[in-house]
Amino acid sequence: MNKLRTTVEITYRHEYLTGFAMAPGLSQMNVAVMAQNHGPFEEHVRVLGIAESEMVLFDSGDAGSRVEPHSSFFKFFHMVVLPIPDDPIGYRVRILTTSTNLILSVGDPIGIGVLEPEQGEPIIPFPYYGPNDFVVHTLPVRPPHDFPPGPVENALTRPAR
């Protein structure tokens, strides 16, 4: 029996952006992203860690992006630019979601610490962003199907028979 494999494309409707967090060139930035789904439907979250140069340092992808109703999503990651530049580096987080039913926050639950005690490399915590601290954009959505050319017929536009 032939089974068709279908891939469902996730359409992210909302983009949440943090401001830039600065770190010395040698330091890595720790980031934790949390999402709580307070809606009645399954939603999706995609997280990107981006350097000041617009280089994507982390992408959670679509796998594991599902957040069940009344459940949470947690993603922890590190960002560091290599090779290590002389100047401080700016990092930001971009979060894509399928709904505004997700309550988002970004920060570093570990706080300031030391990456390599022998070398004294600091770990810089990402500043905390609460639910109302993000810049929010609604993304344009393309229709899921190509519509046939020509006028649409309905009860009002159909010629009388």
Q: Is the dihedral of CA 115, 79, 81, 61 positive or negative?
A: positive
> Per the domain annotation, does 42 fall within a domain?
yes
Q: Which of 93, 76, 85, 109 is nearest to 27 (CA)?
A: 85
pTM (2 d.p.): 0.73
> Per the domain annotation, does 1 fall within a domain?
no
pLDDT tens by residue, the chain, 161 residues: 455 545 567 888 999 999 888 776 666 778 889 999 999 999 999 999 998 888 898 999 888 889 999 999 999 988 877 777 777 778 899 999 998 899 999 987 666 555 555 565 666 667 788 887 888 888 876 555 555 555 555 555 566 66
> Per the domain annotation, does 159 fall within a domain?
no
Report CA-CA distances (Å) from 117 to 8, 76, 113, 122, 124. Answer: 46, 22, 9, 9, 14
- What is the phi/psi pair of residue 45, to 5°? -135, 135
Q: Which domain holds residue 76?
A: 14-138
CATH number of the domain to which 109 belongs:
2.60.290
Q: What is the dihedral of CA 74, 123, 91, 104, to 10 degrees?
A: 20
Number of domains the chain is built from: 1
